């Protein structure tokens, strides 16, 4: 290679270097000057976020209002992660261990959320209390951030669970009052335009366009917490004593239809609703159809007196306890001969009830049952109500008039049955039951007010007064409901012992035992039904359910300051 060639190659090399340098400078200039505004706007756009401000769900209160809070929301934080950022920074192990320890979670569960390359969001734990959330924030873990949230809290756990219902993981009411009043309780979320830093933490000084949330309204119930406690305590004791499958009870104010207590067993912890099965979730007071047995006889007797087809002193032959009707033998629990109508109700004669029903005829029997609300929903302000089963007389067999009037071949809910007795106690007026007393906003303004509503008047005041006297005799000596008595008070009511169908058959000894009634009989204020499903050993309503009715009733009259009777209810006039 000569000197001339070397010089030429040096010039070529120098030229190439110059070209590269010019290109590099041009690129830098382009990046610095050309797209600067676009890049800056992109950065700004990435920093801007619109955040939802969660509205606090309204509280649920008992009849005493703010004194007794049954459900409330508290502000909290959701602990969230940016998995991709954590993976790229090689912080998976550190974040997993720290969050698992702080939140008391299993490490493998946290690891599943954290170790997700390419994913930008995952929620590790919802509803973390503020003090714990703040401790996590101070650790400044890569890719870990907090979001505003609220947590539904039920301070008393399983108390009043079937009336209350619960809020699911999406924040939606899913049973009971929580579901029925979900729209009022929820309110509406607010929003704010703001900025976040690289750790996705909000820069509060950069907030713009703030729209405050509208907090949810509070719901005040007709339920009295103290009376509810009486009911639930007795339900638990009855379940244990009789080794029953289930038990339930309702207390209603006679004149208004207000539900003062409503309990069902088995129950569940509202704070852990996800652990409950269908059996625990079922509100049996309104969601369980069953044959009412002898408690149903009050409708036939009321109809007969109201129509004037029988008199209380009229005699009927009860056939020594066995009577052939429509090709089948109808039995009484005891062998009775001639009884007055008054004594037939007192001693719960099936035979007399069916004979009276035949005098009335199918059409009138059915009409009165419908007038008392049988076969229709009561319209109570709770979800999940069943309507029972009462077929039209056009579908009745010859035997139906011998079964339906004594509570067989017909299904009711306990709330329907309670309505029948409350109507008898209330001069014949059938009231619509309700559990929501009022709904009010956070300033205390009432936006809804529950009001007494008359649904029907199936019987007259005169018939009502007569039935009150006759039903009071059921709890006197010789009646089937003596164990429902309350010392110093006249109690009116009826026992029921109904065979229970299981898979289409009636196994021997499998029954639903009940007592339904009201007190004081002469001037009723409170009606109550108590039901025990599949009690073991003891079976009859008079032995199983009536004592529980009496025990609760004795507490209720003291609590409500119902004055004792000054004299025993006058004997039925002959």
* Active-site amino acid positions: 294
Indicate the burial class of 131 (C-beta count within 10 angstroms; 0-12, 13-18, 19 or more): exposed
d(CA 550, CA 485): 6
Q: Residue 533: which of 297, 289, 347, 294 has the closest Cα? A: 289
In the block, which residue shows the tokens 């719901």?
A: 219
Q: Which two tokens stand for residue 212?
A: 């405050």
d(CA 491, CA 475): 7
Cα torsion 103, 105, 107, 108: sign: negative
d(CA 314, CA 165): 50
d(CA 390, CA 548): 29
DSSP string, 463-492: HHHHHHHHHHGGGSTTSTTGGG-BTTB--E
DSSP string, 505-525: B--TT-EEEEEEEEESSSS--
* Cis ω before 266 (30° cut-off from 0): yes
Q: Residue 350: which of 368, 336, 370 has the closest Cα? A: 336
Residues in the chain: 574
DSSP string, 312-323: TT-EEE-GGGEE
Q: Residue 296: which of 401, 416, 422, 406 has the closest Cα? A: 406
d(CA 539, CA 511): 7
532: left (phi over 0), alpha (psi -120 to 50) or beta: beta
């Amino acid at each position: 290679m000569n000197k001339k060639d070397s010089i030429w190659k040096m010039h070529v090399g120098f030229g190439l270097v110059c070209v590269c340098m010019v290109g590099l400078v041009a690129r830098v200039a382009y990046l610095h000057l050309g797209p600067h505004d676009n890049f800056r706007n992109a950065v700004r756009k990435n920093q801007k976020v619109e955040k939802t401000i969660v509205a606090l769900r309204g509280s649920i209160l008992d009849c005493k209002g703010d004194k007794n809070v049954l459900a409330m929301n508290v502000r909290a934080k959701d602990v969230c992660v940016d998995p991709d950022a954590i993976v790229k920074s090689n912080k998976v192990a550190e974040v997993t261990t720290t969050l698992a320890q702080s939140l008391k979670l299993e490490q493998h569960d946290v690891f599943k959320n954290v170790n997700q390359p390419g994913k930008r969001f995952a929620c590790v734990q919802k509803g973390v209390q503020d003090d714990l959330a703040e401790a996590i924030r101070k650790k400044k873990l890569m890719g870990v951030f907090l979001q505003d949230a609220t947590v539904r809290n039920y301070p008393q756990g399983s108390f009043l669970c079937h009336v209350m219902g619960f809020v699911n993981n999406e924040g939606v009411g899913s049973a009971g009052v929580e579901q029925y009043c979900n729209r009022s309780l929820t309110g509406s979320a607010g929003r704010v335009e703001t900025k976040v830093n690289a750790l996705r933490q909000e820069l509060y000084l950069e907030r713009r366009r703030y729209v405050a949330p509208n907090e949810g309204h509070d719901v005040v119930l007709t339920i009295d917490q103290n009376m509810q406690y009486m009911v639930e305590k007795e339900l638990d004791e009855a379940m244990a004593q009789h080794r029953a499958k289930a038990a339930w009870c309702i207390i209603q104010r006679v004149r208004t239809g207000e539900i003062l207590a409503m309990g069902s067993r088995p129950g569940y912890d509202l704070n852990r609703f996800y652990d409950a099965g269908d059996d625990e979730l079922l509100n049996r007071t309104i969601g369980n159809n069953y044959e009412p047995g002898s408690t149903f006889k009050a409708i036939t007797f009321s109809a007969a007196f109201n129509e004037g087809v029988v008199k209380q002193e009229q005699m009927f032959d009860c056939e020594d306890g066995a009577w052939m009707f429509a090709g089948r033998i109808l039995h009484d629990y005891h062998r009775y001969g001639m009884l007055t109508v008054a004594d037939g109700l007192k001693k719960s004669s099936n035979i007399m009830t069916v004979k009276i029903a035949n005098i009335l005829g199918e059409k009138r029997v059915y009409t009165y049952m419908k007038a008392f609300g049988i076969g229709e929903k009561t319209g109570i302000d709770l979800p999940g109500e069943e309507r029972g089963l009462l077929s039209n007389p056009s579908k009745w067999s010859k035997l139906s008039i011998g079964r339906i009037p004594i509570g067989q071949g017909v299904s009711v809910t306990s709330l329907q049955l309670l309505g029948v007795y409350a109507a008898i106690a209330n001069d014949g007026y059938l009231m619509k039951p309700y559990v929501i007393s009022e709904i009010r906003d956070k300033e205390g303004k009432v936006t809804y007010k529950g009001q007494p509503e008359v649904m029907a008047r199936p019987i007259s005041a005169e018939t009502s007064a007569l039935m009150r006297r006759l039903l009071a005799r059921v709890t006197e000596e010789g009646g089937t409901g003596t164990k429902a008595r309350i010392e110093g008070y006249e109690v009116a009511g009826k026992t029921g012992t109904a065979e229970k169908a299981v898979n289409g058959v009636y196994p021997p000894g499998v029954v639903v035992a009940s007592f339904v009634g009201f007190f004081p009989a002469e001037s009723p204020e409170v009606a109550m039904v108590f039901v025990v499903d599949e009690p073991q050993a003891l079976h009859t309503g008079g032995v199983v359910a009536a004592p529980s009715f009496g025990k609760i009733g004795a507490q209720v009259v003291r609590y409500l300051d119902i004055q004792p009777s000054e004299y025993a209810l006058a004997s039925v006039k002959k």
